[in-house]
């Protein structure tokens, strides 16, 4: 498959011909890419962005800011990333779009846009694909309504929604019911233009990319372990953003190396934000040979190298509830690793997985069941009884349910095992990691 070839909808994934060896880089971080595009659109002047992830989700954000009046000239680079300029609307605010904004499959686009739009006299319909229209939005609309924005139809908890902003937005102190970087970011972005201090307190730490990036755009931000605040009103100023590699994408290469006998890989130029590399600590708890080394920074984001080698004797572990926010996107692939480990692995309080692109919790149990692995949910906890000698039955077909993380997880069954597997709706990998198969296969040559 060529690097630019479209991912097939139904893919047959064959075992890798050799162990994974050498160095790899992964596409730009999806969370940081979204924020770079959106913050640049909000700013005065032209920001220069590089390393931006070229994926369906990020293109949803790029398309959205163009509809709202920003100029975004981001072009594909030889390494597959996007780079270029974004000229924002600044103090004038976003333009009134002449059509609904389609956020595709991107929950980040939809939820962050709600915060972006809240301080302005615009009326915007936000919608998305069938999957996104099932995902909960009340967690975002509730605090924004407290600040003065309104949403129609009243009481609806899912897209499509029409948001009406206001220039007289109120600053609030909000105790979030869950650790969610999207919720936190939406409220803080609205708070940038509200009068006074807007604070978000969380029950557990969530990703802090917003707190690290806002000061780069000239917004004073206070951040601690479970709280963040901004002082408004404030105008964002254009800046330069270099997006590091995505640790969530790196996790799939790391887990492949841990599972494929004889493998040893380095993943370079990847974000080492502590809120994002919980998967490395979980692999360590399972006994995997993992090393993390800092080499520098991209803005305020730490970057470096993640090294992983095959580990023949993995063991089960318990991942406490307070650590789940740092691995929420990696639980599916970590569950696959747990299926190969000796003993029981428990992921505590993973209820958030029920409201991702699909019900990932049910999908994990279903997929591991096809492998003959005992996996079950008790309350909000996921249990997996590992099998160190696990082998793949022939003629398996996994349904990714259109979820990119599941598509890559089930692909690893074929890549790292001895039997090919089929993955339905494999083209969903375009959401976050279009060149996933190419990168893995290149390491096994």
Q: What is the CA radius of gyration of the chain?
A: 21
- Return d(Cα 388, Cα 362) in angstroms, integer: 23
Q: Is 356 annotated as a binding residue?
A: yes
Q: Is 133 annotated as a binding residue?
A: no
Q: Is 115 annotated as a binding residue?
A: no
* Residue spans of beta strands (DSSP E) within 99-181: 101-102, 123-127, 150-152, 161-164, 173-175
CA nearest to 413, candidates 385, 394, 432, 435: 394
Specify the pairing of strand 264-271 against strand 289-298: unpaired
Q: Which two tokens stand for residue 120?
A: 């302005």
Q: Is 360 annotated as a binding residue?
A: yes
- Return d(Cα 29, Cα 344) in angstroms, integer: 32
Match 């998305």 to its residue by tokens. Answer: 128
Q: Is 31 annotated as a binding residue?
A: yes
Q: Is 156 annotated as a binding residue?
A: no
Specify the pairing of strand 161-164 against strand 123-127: antiparallel
* Residue spans of beta strands (DSSP E) within 147-273: 150-152, 161-164, 173-175, 196-201, 221-223, 227-232, 240-242, 264-271
Q: Is 207 annotated as a binding residue?
A: no
Residue-wise burial string across 124-151, b where 16 or more C-beta atoms lie within 10 A, e elsewhere: bebbbbebbeebebebbbbbbeebbbeb
Rounded to the nearest 5°, which phi and psi values hold at 366?
A: -65, -45
Q: Is 30 annotated as a binding residue?
A: yes
**What's the full length of the chain, in residues?**
445
| Catalytic residue chosen out of the listed positions 29, 54, 246, 329 | 329
Q: Is 180 annotated as a binding residue?
A: yes
Report DSSP letters for 6-44, one per residue: PPPSSEEEPPPSS--EEEEE-PBPHHHHHHHHHHHHHSB
User: Is 329 considered catalytic here?
Assistant: yes
| Strands of the sheet with 289-298, listed across from one edge | 21-25, 264-271, 301-309, 289-298
> Is 398 within 8 Å of 387 (Cβ atoms)?
no
Which residues does 421 contact at the CB level (< 8 Å), separation at least 6? 12, 13, 392, 396, 397, 398, 410, 411, 413, 414
Could you give the count of Cα atoms lying within 13 Å of 1 in the half-sphere of its Cβ?
19
Q: Is 405 annotated as a binding residue?
A: yes
**Residues tagged active-site:** 329
Residue set of the binding site for 3-phosphoshikimate: 30-31, 35, 180, 182, 329, 356
Residues marked as binding?
30-31, 35, 107, 135, 180, 182, 329, 356, 360, 405
> What residues form the annotated binding site for phosphoenolpyruvate?
30, 107, 135, 182, 360, 405
């Amino acid at each position: 498959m060529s690097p630019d070839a479209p991912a097939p909808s139904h893919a047959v994934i064959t075992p890798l011909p050799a162990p994974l060896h050498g160095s790899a880089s992964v596409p730009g971080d999806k969370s940081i890419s979204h924020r770079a595009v959106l913050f640049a659109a909000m700013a005065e002047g032209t920001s220069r962005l590089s390393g931006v992830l070229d994926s369906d989700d990020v293109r949803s954000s790029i398309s959205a800011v163009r509809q709202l009046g920003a100029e975004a000239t981001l072009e594909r680079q030889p390494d597959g990333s996007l780079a270029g300029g974004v000229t924002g609307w600044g103090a004038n605010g976003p333009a009134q779009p002449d059509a609904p904004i389609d956020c595709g499959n991107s929950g980040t686009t939809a939820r962050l846009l709600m915060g972006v739009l809240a301080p302005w006299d615009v009326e915007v319909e936000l919608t998305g694909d069938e999957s996104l229209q099932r995902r909960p939005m009340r967690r975002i609309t509730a605090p924004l309504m407290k600040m003065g924005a309104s949403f129609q139809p009243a009481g609806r908890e899912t897209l499509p929604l029409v948001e009406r902003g206001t220039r007289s937005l109120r600053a609030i102190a909000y105790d979030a019911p869950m650790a969610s970087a999207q919720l936190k970011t939406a409220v803080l972005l609205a708070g940038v233009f509200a009068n006074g201090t807007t604070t978000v307190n969380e029950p557990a730490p969530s990703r802090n990319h917003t707190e690290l990036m806002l000061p780069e755009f000239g917004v004073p931000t206070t951040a601690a372990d479970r709280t963040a605040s901004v002082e408004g009103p404030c105008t964002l100023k254009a800046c330069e953003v270099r997006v590091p590699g995505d640790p969530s994408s790196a996790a799939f290469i790391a887990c492949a190396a841990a599972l494929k006998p004889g493998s040893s890989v380095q993943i370079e130029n990847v974000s080492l934000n502590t809120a994002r590399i919980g998967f490395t600590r979980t692999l360590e708890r399972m006994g995997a040979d993992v090393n993390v080394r800092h080499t520098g920074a991209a803005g305020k984001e730490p970057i470096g190298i993640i090294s992983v080698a095959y580990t023949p004797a993995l063991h089960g572990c318990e991942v406490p509830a307070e650590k789940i926010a740092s691995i929420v996107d990696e639980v599916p692939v970590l569950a696959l690793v747990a299926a190969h480990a000796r003993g029981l692995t428990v992921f505590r309080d993973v209820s958030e997985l029920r409201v991702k692109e699909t019900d990932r919790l049910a999908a994990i149990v279903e997929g591991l069941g096809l492998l003959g692995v005992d996996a079950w949910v008790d309350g909000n906890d996921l249990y997996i009884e590992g099998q160190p000698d696990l082998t793949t039955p022939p003629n398996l077909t996994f349904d990714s349910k259109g979820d990119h993380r599941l598509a890559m997880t089930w692909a690893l069954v074929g890549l790292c095992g001895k039997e090919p597997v089929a993955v339905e709706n494999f083209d969903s990998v375009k959401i976050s990691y279009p060149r996933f198969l190419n990168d893995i296969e290149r390491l096994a040559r």
